[in-house]
Amino acid sequence: MKQWKFSTNALEQAPENSYILIGIGDCLRKLKRFEQAIEYYKRVYELDSGNRFALLGLGDAFRGLHKRQEA
């Protein structure tokens, strides 16, 4: 995935960039690697608890794992 390669390269330059972390989480979620996606969304949430993209990503990833309580 083009977005994956771009995001992982960019993450090396800016490891706390929320946009990059969300991009990686989104890629992982699309690949159905939900547990890994959750890790990235949680990192964004720790940086900015009001980030709606992190919250939406977390919800989608937890639903993918059939953990509706957490979603």
pLDDT of 6-51, one tens digit each?
777 888 888 899 999 999 999 999 999 999 999 999 999 999 999 9
Q: How far is CA 26 from CA 54, 57, in A?
A: 10, 7
- State the total domains in the chain: 1
- In a domain, residue 9? The reply is no
**Contacts made by residues 14-20, CB under 8 angstroms, sequence distance 24+:** 16/47, 18/44, 18/47, 18/48, 18/51, 18/53, 18/54
pTM, two decimal places: 0.83
- In a domain, residue 47? The reply is yes
pLDDT at residue 55 is higher than 90: yes
- In a domain, residue 11? The reply is no
- In a domain, residue 2? The reply is no
- In a domain, residue 22? The reply is no
- In a domain, residue 68? The reply is yes
Q: Could you give the CA distance from residue 39 to residue 37 in angstroms, rounded to a whole number?
A: 5
